[in-house]
Structure 1
Amino acid sequence: MRSIHFHGSRIVKTGIAIFLTAVICDWFGWPPVFAVITAIVTIEPTVSDSIKKGIVRFPASAIGSAYAVFFISLFGNSPITYTLAAVFTILTCYKLKLHAGLLVATLTSVAMVEVIHSNYLIAFFIRLGTTTVGLTVSTLVNMIVFRPDYRQDIAKNIQTIGARAGSILEHTFRTVLFDAAADRKADGIPIHQLTQDIRKTEVLLRYQRDESSLHPLIGGDKDELLLAERQLLYLHNLDYHLGNLLQVPIRSLAWTEAERAVIMDAVAALADDLQHAAEYDAERHNAQLKAITDLFWEDNEELTKHNYIHPTKFPPELIILYELVTIYDLVDRYYNPESPAGSVQPG
C-alpha cells in the first residue's frame, strides 16, 4: 500500500538523481541522456532493490551497448541496425536472465544508433561510464534522501485492517447470518478489500525487512517488524474464517432468542475490540469467549443428537459458533502475539 508520501518522495528523489547525474556527465563531457534514463528507472521502493537491480542493469546495458556498436559498424545508421540491436539485446538478456535490466539495455541500444558515427570503442566505454554514473547516483540518492521507511504505514494499515475486519464481522452477523432474506452477495460485504489490504501490507513488510537488513544501524526495528508480521498473520487467518462464515449454507437457525442475544453481544464486543484497539479489555474478551464456548458445547450435544437434516455434516449453528470461537482466539493472539493459544477452544 504505497502512500501519497512515498509517491511524493519518489518524485523528489528522481528529480535530484536526474539533476546530479546530468551535472556529473556534463563535467566529464559525456552525453547525459543514457545516464539519466538509467537513473530514472533505478529509483526503487527500497535501497536494497536499487542495488540488486543495479547489479543486473549494468551488464545488461553493456550488452545493449555492445550490440549497438557492432551493428552500427556493419550497417551504419539504418533501420536494420535499430532492429538487430534491439532484438539481439532482448534475446541475450532473456537468455542470461537479466530481466531487470532489459528495458534499460534495449533503450540504450537503440538510442546509441542515432548518436554514434565513429570511434566505436570509445563510444562503448563512454556508455558504460554513463550507465555507472546513473546507477551510482540514483542508488545513493535513494539511500540518503527521504530514506525508505514504511513502519508508520505498516502500523496504520494493520489498525485499519483490524477495524475493517470488526465492521465486516458485525455486518455479517447482523444482516446475513441472522436474516435469511438478507443479501449475501459478495458486493454487499467488502471482504475482498480486507484481503487486498493484507496483501499490500505484506509487500510493505518485505520492503521494510530489506531496508533493515541493509542498514544495521536501524536494525532495532526488527522486534517491531516481527510483531507486525505476527499480527498480520492473525489478521490473515481472521480473514479466512470470516470468509468461511459467508459460505455457511443457512436456511433457518435453531437458536432461541436468548441464545441469539448471547451471540450478538459477543459479536458486538469482538467488533469493538477490533475497531478500538486502545480499549481492548482482555478480561472482558475472555468472559465473552467463555460464554460462546459454553454455548458451542451445549449446541454440540443437542444439535448432533437430533441432526436429521445434516446427518453427515456439522449443523450450521455449530459451524458458525466454531468460527466465532476461533476468531475470538485469533483476536486475543492479535493483541498478545507472545501468548500461547487460548485455553478455551472447541476441539
Structure 2
Amino acid sequence: MIKKWVSKIRGERMIKTALAVFFTVLICRFFELPPAFAVIAAVVTLEPTAADSVQKGLQRFPATLIGTALSLGSLFVFGQSAVAFTLAAVLTIYICYKLRLEAGILVATLTAVLMIPVAEAPYLIEFIQRAGTTLIGISVSTIVNLTILPPHFSRMVAEKNDVLFSQAGRLLLEKMAEIVETGESKNYTRKRFSDMQRQLNASIELISHQKKEWKYHRYSDRDMMFFTYQKEQLYALERIIYHTHSLFMLKDDHFNLFPEKQEVVNQAAHSIANVLERKSRSITEAHYQVIEQLDYTFRQVQLDWPETNESAYHHHFSGEVIILYVLLSIHDVLEELENIHAQYEEDTSGF
C-alpha cells in the first residue's frame, strides 16, 4: 500500500514535469528565446501543491532577477574567472537571505552561476532575456500544477490511516509480548515504532498540503466531510502513538513487576488491536468487559504501590501503573474514534 502511494505521487510529478518542460520550450521557441534557463526554472519550481507553486513563485522571480544582475556584474568586472563565479553565487545567496527570498535561492544561484560562461554583450539584453525566460518557466510550472492532475491528499491520508491503525495494533501486541513474556526490549520493535512516527509525520504534512490546495480548487461538502473525518482519525492515531511511546521509555527491569496480572494485560492488548483493525473502530461488549477488568486492576495497583515500594529512591509511578495507564488511555481514544466514525456516517447518510 505504501509503495503504491509513493509510486502514484512520483508518477504524477513526472507527468507534470514533462508537461511543464514541453510547454516551456514551445513558448520559448515561439518568442525565439533560449529555453535552457526557462526549463531549469520550470523543473526546480514544480511544487507538491499549487499553493506552494504560487507562493514560492512570488519569491523565485525577484530572486532570479537578483542572481542574474549579480552574475552579469561579476562577469563585467572579473570576466569568466573563479572570482566571478564565487562572487555571483555567494552574493546571490546572501542578498536573497537578507531579503527573505529563501524559496528562490536555489534557482537564483543556479542562474547566476550558469549565466557566466554563456552571457554575451550587450548585458542589458541578456538581463531582459533571462528575466523573461525565468518568468516563462515559473509561470508554466505554476499553471501546470494548478490545472493538471490536482492531487487528492485526503485519499492518500485515508489509505495511510488504514495502514497505520493496523500497524499500531500489531506493534502494541509485540511490545506487550516483550513486556510480559521475554522481559526485555528488542531493537526491531523500536525500529518499527520509529517508522510509524515517520509515516505519521508524513500524513500530517499531507493534511497541511490539502488545506493549501483547496485555496485554488473547488471542493464539495462531501469532500470537506471526508477530509475532516480523516484528519480527526489521524490526530486520534497521533495520540495512540504518543501513549504507546511511554512503553518504550520503560527500563527492562520494570518488565517483571506484575507476573500475576499478565492475563489481564494480554487480553486488553489483543482486544485493543482488534478494534484498531476494524475500519468502523466499533467496540464490542466483550471489549468493554476486558477494559472494566483492566480498570479494576489499575486501581488496585495504585492502592498497593505505596506499600510495595521499598526502594531507597521513591518512584511516583511503577512500571505496572504506567503499562496499565497506557492501555486505558488508548481505550479512551478508541471510544473517541468510534464516535468520530458514527458522526461521519450520520453526516454523510444524506449524500
Q: In the TM superposition, what are the counterparts of 1:142-157 in structure 2 within 5 Å?
A: 142-157=145-160
Cα 1:15–1:339 change in 2 (3 A) is closer
C-alpha contact 1:205 1:229 (8 A) present in aligned 2? yes
| TM-score (structure 2 length as normaliser) | 0.87
Q: Work out the CA distance in 1 between the residues paired with 2:133 and 2:255.
A: 70
The CA distance in 2 between the partners of 1:255 and 1:78, in whole Å, is: 76
1:262 matched residue in structure 2: 264
Measure, in 2, the Cα distance between the counterparts of 1:219 and 1:19: 36
Q: How far did 1:282 drift?
A: 4.6
**1:318 Cα deviation (Å)?**
2.5
Aligned-residue offset at 1:299: 3.4
Task: Give the direction of change, closer, same or farther, for the CA distance of 1:18–1:214 in structure 2 (3 Å limit).
Answer: same
Instruction: Give the equivalent residue in structure 2 for 1:325.
Output: 328
Partner of 1:299: 301
Mapping of residues 1-347 of structure 1, within 5 Å: 3-173=6-176, 175-179=177-181, 181-189=182-190, 190-217=192-219, 221-248=223-250, 249-250=253-254, 252-254=256-258, 256=260, 259-278=261-280, 280-301=282-303, 303-304=304-305, 306-309=307-310, 312-337=315-340
Rounded Cα–Cα distance in structure 2 between residues aligned with 1:338 and 1:153:
18
Partner of 1:344: none
Deviation, structure 1 residue 102: 1.1
Separation of aligned partners in 2, 1:284 and 1:200: 35
TM-superposed deviation, 1:68 = 2.3
Q: 1:250 to 1:81 in 2, by over 3 A?
A: closer
Matched AA of 2:58: I
Distance in 2, matches of 1:219 and 1:56, equals 33
Give the match's secondary structure for 2:155.
Answer: helix
Within 1, Cα distance between the matches of 2:258 and 2:133? 75
User: Distance between the aligned counterparts of 1:323 and 1:72, measured in 2?
Assistant: 65
Q: Secondary structure at the match of 1:117?
A: coil
CA deviation map 1:3-32 (0-9, x unaligned): 111111111111111111011001101100
Once structures 1 and 2 are overlaid, which stretch shifts more, 83-92 or 46-55? 83-92
Partners of 2:291 and 2:125 in 1: how far apart? 76
Distance in 2 between residues matched to 1:201 and 1:194, nearest whole Å: 11
Q: TM-score, normalised by structure 1?
A: 0.88
Deviations 1:210-237 (A, max 9, x none): 1123324457533333322222222222
Q: How many residues align?
A: 335
* One-letter code aligned to 2:116: V
Aligned equivalent of 1:343: none
How much has 1:104 moved relative to structure 2?
Answer: 1.0
Which letter maps to 2:162? Q
Deviation track 1:146-197 (CA, whole Å, cap 9, x = no partner) reads 1122222101111111111101111122x22212x44413334421122111
Unaligned ranges ≥5, structure 1:
341-347
Q: Does the residue aligned with 1:29 lie in a helix, a strand or coil?
A: coil
Q: Quote the Cα distance in structure 2 between the aligned partners of 1:131 and 1:204.
A: 29
Is the Cα–Cα contact under 8 Å of residues 212 and 218 in structure 1 kept in the other structure?
A: no
Paired amino acid for 1:262:
V
- How far the C-alpha of 1:79 sits from its partner, in A, is 3.8
| CA spacing shift, 1:74–1:270, aligned 2, 3 Å | same
